[in-house]
Amino acid sequence: MSILGISSATKIISVALAENKKLLAEITTSGKEAFTEDIILYIEKLVDESRSKIEGVAVTVGPGGYSGIRGGLACAKTLAQVNNLKLAAVSTLHALVYNLRDVTGTIAAITDACQDDFNFALFRSFEGNIERITDDLAIHFDRLTEVLAEVKGLLYITGTTEEIFAKIKEINPETKIVATQMNIPSGFNVALIGEQLIKEGLTEDPLKLMPKYSHMPNIREFKI
């Protein structure tokens, strides 16, 4: 089954095609070159290069940036509806943690949620399998350190900045923390997770799937 993975909830846009857990093609851009408007162009290029027919679509639905989530989601929902494809919704934090599927231990995915909060979720990795321990949460830094202090054994952290990692290490010096540089929720990871969700029948209705924000957009009516 050839699955298209779209990751656009962060400042890095990554689109990939995967089949039976193998990468067929991938395009990843960041910084000034990353525009959600270009996602469809990336997809066309991937299909041409791999000569594969897309059978399903997986997309990050949050947490992450408002514009990035909406752009990727709109593209995925349109492709799924128009082409009658199966659609899977993937957590950005889950896609981050999937980089560490070959380690053994507890993994914390942490990203900036603004408003002095952090997007956070705990997972357990063992023999290539990722098991979720908590839901995706938006919590304050003080509460975050309290939760991490309760983790027993080896703790991997992904998605966070070096500054946040240093603070956590300072507050919890006895916690065996391993920082990782694999901080990209790649399109390949999204495709792999989506493939499993689709096989398990955990698909979404393109007309009903909505973004999952950590904070609702601060949108106000403009008055003259």
**Per-residue pLDDT at 147:** 87
Residues in contact with 64: Cβ distance below 8 Å, sequence separation at least 6, in sequence order: 8, 9, 10, 92, 111, 119
Q: Do the domains spanning 2-92+184-199 and 94-179 agree at the CATH topology level? A: yes
Average pLDDT over residues 116-143: 91
**pLDDT at residue 162 greater than cutoff 60:** yes
Question: Exposed, middle or buried, 32 (CB in 10 Å: 0-12/13-18/19+)?
Answer: exposed
**Per-residue pLDDT at 222:** 46
Beta strand spans in 129-218 (E): 129-132, 137-140, 154-158, 176-179
Q: Report the CATH superfamily, name and number, of domain 2-92+184-199.
A: ATPase, nucleotide binding domain (3.30.420.40)
**pLDDT at residue 220 greater than cutoff 70:** no
Query: What percent of the chain is modeled with pLDDT above 70?
Result: 88
**Per-residue pLDDT at 179:** 66
**pLDDT at residue 125 greater than cutoff 90:** yes
pLDDT tens for each residue of 19-41: 999 999 999 998 666 677 889 89
**Per-residue pLDDT at 150:** 83
Among 109-118, 122-131, 154-163, top mean pLDDT goes to: 122-131
Q: How far is 135 from 120, CA to CA, in rounded Å?
A: 8
Cis peptide bond N-terminal to 63, omega within 30: yes
Does the predicted TM-score (pTM) go above 0.85? yes
The residue ranges of every structural domain in the chain are 2-92+184-199, 94-179
Average pLDDT over residues 53-72: 93
Lowest mean pLDDT across 110-119, 167-176, 184-193? 167-176
> Residue 72: enclosing H or E segment and its boundaries?
helix 66-83
pLDDT tens for each residue of 78-98: 999 999 999 999 999 999 999
CATH 3.30.420.40 for domain 94-179: yes
Contact in structure between 65 and 99 (CB atoms under 8 Å):
no
